[in-house]
Amino acid sequence: MHELTWGLPVILYLFLAGLGAGAVTVSGSVLLRKGGFGSSRFAIARCGALIGPLPVMLGTFLIVFELGQPFRALNLFKLINLSPMNIGSWLLGAFIFLSLLYALTFLPPSAGPGDRLRGVRRALAWICVPVGISVAIYTGIMLGAMPARPFWNSPILAGLFLLSALSTGVASIILAGVFFRRNHRDPAVRDDYDNSSYLLTASDALLIGGELIIIFLFLMFAQLTIGDVRYAVNVILPGGNLAPAFWGLVIVIGLVIPLVVEIVLIVPKLLYGRRFVSIPAIEVAIPTAIIIGGFALRYIIVVAGQITAPAAL
């Protein structure tokens, strides 16, 4: 029986920090993009900006209180060094502060593409995008910096967590759009909404494809090595304790099904120039599946790293 030192609070922190960082990164990227999203660009950016800070703040709250002595976490800010925990603490603090300022620029009733806060909003977007990417990558680096856990000790995790964070960020924006942007009677606004949904769906398909490639490389790298790493990865391969959850929740539900559905949706417009029509049920079901898969990915990786120790021990 393996004792899990890192439980649900740490898993939720990794998931929520990734989702929030991904949402803000996508928001800033869309806002700074000059074409493609039309008049929906501001609405998409607003969704991501308002969603982003909340999960990161909640995840940080969970990880701080998981330490058992919350106020001791403040010691991480007293020194500046190159340790993963210290760098991560400063990144999280900077992200929360900057993303809150960024979100505030979207809150005034008069907020719009050409309002008086436009310059401040764009400046913050330029800063939030790299900081958001750094936070998303950090959640993987934090695990990869532990050589005593061979399942985690791979630089590939950082790239996997980054793509997963961006994908769950896009999924959260699509979900928010269903409830706050979709219902509009003006045909021109509806067409603009469908066009922006197409671009978000196409972007998410690319991100999911990247995730599958990275997972494949992660598994192949482990199988081509000998010793601790290969032994550790067996826990998610067929016959392993976590294999049903990994292949069922992460691969099938969280990645393959969403990718297939998204490809079916975007191919008619991508190849034949046909009009893309968003379907409400799919806009809810697919992002929900992606978010479930993103959480399951982090759950399985955190648990797998703890129930597999170096073979020599």
Q: Quote the pLDDT of residue 133.
A: 96
Q: Indicate whether 140 belongs to any domain.
A: yes
Q: Indicate whether 117 belongs to any domain.
A: yes
More confident residue, 149 or 214: 214
CB 105 within 8 A of CB 124: yes
DSSP structural state of residue 275: P
Q: Indicate whether 1 belongs to any domain.
A: no
Q: Indicate whether 3 belongs to any domain.
A: no
Q: Which two tokens stand for residue 38?
A: 């039309």
More confident residue, 151 or 79: 151
Residue 135 neighbours by CB under 8 Å, 6+ apart: 17, 18, 21, 56, 91, 92, 95
Q: Is pLDDT at 104 greater than 50 in this prediction?
A: yes
Q: Indicate whether 275 belongs to any domain.
A: yes
| CATH code of the domain in which 39 resides | 1.20.1630.10
Picking from 236, 202, 166, the residue whose alpha carbon sits closest to that of residue 25 is 166
Q: Quote the pLDDT of residue 226.
A: 64
* Neighbour-count burial of 6, counting CB atoms closer than 10 A to its CB (0-12 exposed, 13-18 middle, 19+ buried): middle
Element (H, E) at 266: helix 257-272
pLDDT band at 183 (very low <50, low <70, confident <90, very high): low
Q: Indicate whether 205 belongs to any domain.
A: yes
How many separate domains does the chain show? 1
Q: Which of 100-109, 230-239, 254-263 is predicted least confidently? A: 230-239
- Name the residue with tokens 């000059």: 34
Mean pLDDT of the chain: 85
CB 166 within 8 A of CB 19: no
Q: Is pLDDT at 116 greater than 50 in this prediction?
A: yes
- Its pTM stands at 0.90
Q: Which of 64-73, 116-125, 205-214 is predicted least confidently? A: 64-73
Domain containing 179: what range? 8-307
